[in-house]
Amino acid sequence: MANVRILEIKKSIFENNDLEAERLRADLKAQNTFLINLMSSPGSGKTSSVLRIIERLKGKYRIGVMEADIDSRVDAEAVARTGVPAIQIHTGGMCHLDAGMTRQGLESPEMRGLGLIILENVGNLVCPAEFDTGACKNMMILSVPEGDDKPLKYPLMFSVADLLLINKIDVLEFFDFDIGAVRERAEKLRPGITVIDVSAKQGIGFGCVAAWIEQEIEAWKRG
């Protein structure tokens, strides 16, 4: 069993989360750490996508991962087995992370001096969308078995996503899922959103995901 730090985080004391998120983004910029906030329903494939991204980018960036969950540490252990620093954040029952909670994670010694940190938010398509974590970009996953109606039902999540991965495309033929309709609905909710079809299980599409991340990091460094 990989040995990972489990961080029990506290509810934030900041009244104004948006302000705290802007502060965190400025601090991240100053220390040259690009933070991606990854959101989805439970079981959409967040951790397996993170593993695929690590596979592609660990030669290029010093990567770290913060895994948030109500309970358990299976995700952080899976990441730690790749050799990348990982911590498990326990939210004490809370259904999302805000900027103050994200900062508590970033202050963990394992997360110091890294170029790219991926925050895997609590599996939830509702609450995490309402709280800016202070990340530089938001990535979300919708997996094929969840259904193509999700942008209609959870519009806020799609409206805050910069990158949408449509995961589990390897089982597309077994489900009634209209990829074109999802792309169209996502584009309406977030004009300019990037949508990439992937299979984290089979490793399909992650060259494209890695290229998107690299581009965003380059643009952010110039910005």
> Which parts of this chain interact with a second copy (CB under 8 A)?
41-44, 69-72, 74, 93, 95, 122-127, 130, 143-147, 149-150, 152-156, 168, 170-171, 174-175
Supply the minimum distance, in Å, between the C-beta of residue 60 and a second copy.
29
Which of 137/168 has CB closer to a second copy? 168
Token pair, residue 150, equals 């999700």
Which of 33/167 has CB closer to a second copy? 167
Supply the minimum distance, in Å, between the C-beta of residue 200 and a second copy.
12
Supply the minimum distance, in Å, between the C-beta of residue 109 and a second copy.
25
DSSP string, 146-161: G-TTHHHH-HHHHHT-
The Cα-based distances of 76 to 1, 4, 68, 118, 144 in angstroms read: 11, 7, 9, 12, 25
Supply the minimum distance, in Å, between the C-beta of residue 15 and a second copy.
20
Residue 125 DSSP class: S
Q: Give phi and psi for 25, each to the nearest 5.
A: -60, -40
Which of 117/125 has CB closer to a second copy? 125
Q: Using CA atoms, how far apart are residues 65 and 85, in angstroms rounded to an integer?
A: 6
Which of 23/183 has CB closer to a second copy? 183
Residue 172 DSSP class: G
Which of 154/206 has CB closer to a second copy? 154
Residue 16: how many other CB atoms lie within 10 Å: 10
Supply the minimum distance, in Å, between the C-beta of residue 36 and a second copy.
21
